Structures are given as C-alpha cells and as structure tokens.
Amino acid sequence: MHRPLGITVSRHILDSQRLHPEATGALSSLLAELIVAAKTISAEVNMAGLADILGMSGKTNIQGEDVQKLDEFANNTIKRRMARSGFLCVMTSEEEEDIIPAAEGYEGKYTLAFDPLDGSSNIDVNVNIGTIFSIHRRLTPSGQGSKEDLLQKGREQVAAGYIVYGSSTMLVYTTVEGVHGFTLDPSVGEFYLSHPDIRMPDRGKYYSTNEGNSCRWREPMRRYIDFLKEEDKESSRPRSARYIGSLVADFHRNLIAGGIFLYPGDRKSPEGKLRLLYEASPLAFIAEKAGGRAITDDGRSILDIEPTALHQRVPLIIGCRQDVDVAEEFFAGKR
Ligand code: P6P
C-alpha cells in the first residue's frame, strides 16, 4: 500500500478542512492546540521513568520546579492550554469533578471532554498509557458553556481521538472522514502520517477483558468468553487473549490488528468501569468510522446514549463488527 511520507498532522488537518468550504478553521486550530499539549505530555511521560534516577521524584525537580504526578501534569497541560485557545466554551476532564470553563473572553464554539492520562496506574511499570479526547459543537448560543453543552450523544461528535504513549507516541483521530494514525518523530517534534485510512478488520484474532472479574460476570458474558475459547478453525477460534489494562492500548491493538474489548457490567459494578463522555464515546466514534461497532451489554449503541452525568460509567463492548455482532447475540440471550 502506498504510504504518503512526510505528511504532518497539521497538513493533514488542513487538507481535510479544505473538503469543507464552510469551515472557519476553528476546529483545525483547536486540534492543533490539542496536539501541542499532547507533545508536551509525551515528553514528560517519556521522562517519567527517569524521575527517580534524575532525582526528580521529590516534590521539586532539579530546576526547583514542582514535579506533578503525571496525570495531574497531563490534566493541567491540556486544560490550561485549551482554556485560552479561543475555540472552546467549556471542558470536562476525568480528573475534575465539575466543568472547566473557558478563560473569560476566550469562549469558542466547541466543547472538549478528555481523559488526560488513561491507565496512569501503569506508568510505574512502563506500560502504554494514553490521552483520549472528544469534541462537540456547543448547544448554548454564546458566552461560558455549561454542562448541557457537554452532555451530548457520541453520534454528535465533530472529532474524537487519542494519543497512545508507548514504544512510539501515536495520535489517532477522526473528524467527518476516516480514521488516521500519526507517529511522533521526537527528534523533529512532528506527528507524521503513518496509518492513513485505518479500517478495522471485519473479524479479529484477539479478545481483551479482565478475566480476574469472571467470578462476578453475568451468565451471557461468561458464555461468550467460553465460546471464544472453543476450537473452531472456520471462525478463527480459539481467539488469543490480550489484556494490557490500559484502554487506549487495548483499543489501539484491536483497531489495527482486529479484536474485541469487553468491560461489561457485573454483579459488583452493574454499569461497568469505563466512562461514557471521555472514554467509551470517543473510542466508539473512532471504531464506527473505521468499520467497527461499540455497544453496551444490553445492546444499546454507545453513540446513541443520551448522557445524564459528566462522569457516568457505561458497560463497553467495542471492536470488529462481526465480533460485536456475535457478542450482541450472546448478551441478548439468542445464543
Ligand atoms: P481493570 C485503567 O485504569 C482503566 O481505566 C482503563 O484504561 C482500563 O481499560 C481499565 O481501567 C482496566 O480496568 O479493572 O481491568 O484493572
């Protein structure tokens, strides 16, 4: 496959903006600001392992600046930069209980929901972590945004994406067209197009779930996972188990190589663990744009859920279309 070399993410965003003559460039500039924040976080994440060695693990580093916990650093990096971007009227973050207003006089026409550093418990063991973001158009006419502007269905998103910090730092995002992946060249500080037009395979070879929760699973989940472990060449079973415990990393592998991720409700947590606004919804938007599916364990499409609270949790089954279709039949009691 021809891979266009050297296309930066900024060029790619502007090229897709050109497809929409009515575009003012605000969304492109918003994404560009978000990408600056991502590069800043990436540099800090990659230094994290050195914190102890370089004596930066205390409250102040060698420059005498306060060293923040990485997720606190990531949260502050995004909210401070985006509050003054001029493109947002309100934000919500996994790290903050209430809404985050845009700076006075900098209110814009979009909203941002983000998980600044998902999987941060994995930092100390050098496992991939990620930033997830979701962008909607505001509903209120002007001025400071409100919770109402944030509580919108995933299907109404104008853009969604994530950055996965790992062996390399990758940005994956979608606007109205396809899903595209960019890899950071840290020596230049640029994201270059490395995965144009990502399409999820119709059926995957992996399944991702925390089997440690199986004692609390409801019957359909137990039966579906047992089904994936049976021998059946025709339907590429048994599937391989892959579970990193970082949603962005598990999702990214399934997006590229094919698979299904399940974090259903169980007897202890009926709504599961993952958050709708800044985890399930943006990843569902990406999955559907790449030909996959994302549903709850009672068959609702993630993108059609009407949010009622900023940090509401939702059961999540997301991945290759055929795999989610079969899982849906198990959860509906049809298999
Ligand atoms: P468990 C990380 O803490 C996270 O929020 C997601 O990134 C990940 O998919 C999930 O929780 C892992 O949860 O219960 O399997 O440890």
pLDDT digits (tens, 9 = 90+) for 301-326: 999 999 999 999 999 999 999 999 99
Question: Does residue 118 line the site of ligand 1, with CB under 6 A?
Answer: yes
Question: Does residue 240 line the site of ligand 1, with CB under 6 A?
Answer: no
Evaluate if residue 15 carries a pLDDT over 80.
yes
CATH code for the part of the protein at 206-331 = 3.40.190.80
Predicted confidence band of residue 217 (pLDDT cuts 50, 70, 90):
very high
Cα(246) to ligand 1 centroid in Å equals: 6
From the list 126, 121, 130, 129, the residue with the least C-alpha distance to 173 is 130
Collapse the DSSP code of 98 into the 3-class scheme (helix H, G, I; strand E, B; otherwise coil) and give the result. coil
Cα(224) to ligand 1 centroid in Å equals: 20
Best of 263, 276, 318 for a ligand 1 pocket test (most atoms within 8 Å of beta carbon)? 263
| Residue pair 198/256 in contact by the 8 Å Cβ criterion | yes
**Residue 149 tokens, joined:** 């502007």
Is the pTM here over 0.75, yes or no?
A: yes
Burial class (CB in 10 A: 0-12, 13-18, 19+), 227: middle
pLDDT score of 55: 40
Delimiting residues of CATH 3.40.190.80 domain(s) in the chain: 206-331
Phi, psi of 291 (to 5 degrees): 95, 5
Q: Which residue has a Cα nearest atom 15 of ligand 1? A: 210
Average pLDDT, the chain: 92
CA 54 to CA 51: how far, in whole Å? 5
Q: Which residue in the block uniquely carries the two structure tokens 């003054």?
A: 84
| Superfamily of 9-195 according to CATH | Fructose-1,6-Bisphosphatase, subunit A, domain 1 (3.30.540.10)
Q: How many other C-beta atoms lie within 10 A of the C-beta of residue 15?
A: 12
Q: Which residue has a Cα nearest atom 12 of ligand 1? A: 245
Question: Does residue 119 line the site of ligand 1, with CB under 6 A?
Answer: yes
Delimiting residues of CATH 3.30.540.10 domain(s) in the chain: 9-195
CA 144 to CA 127: how far, in whole Å? 38
pLDDT score of 1: 45
pLDDT for 170-192, tens place per residue? 999 999 789 999 999 999 999 99
Q: What is the 3-state secondary structure (H, E, C) of 168-233?
A: CEEEEEECCCCEEEEEEECCCCEEEEEECCCCCCCCCCEEECCHHHHHHCCHHHHHHHHHHCCCEH
Q: Which residue has a Cα nearest atom 16 of ligand 1? A: 245
Q: How many other C-beta atoms lie within 10 A of the C-beta of residue 199?
A: 13
Q: Which residue has a Cα nearest atom 9 of ligand 1? A: 247
pLDDT for 71-116, tens place per residue? 889 999 999 999 999 999 999 999 999 999 999 999 999 999 999 9
Which ligand 1 atom minimizes the distance to the CA of 274? 5
Evaluate if residue 47 carries a pLDDT over 90.
no
Strands, sheet with 293-295, edge to edge from the N-terminal-most edge strand: 240-241, 206-208, 259-263, 316-319, 293-295
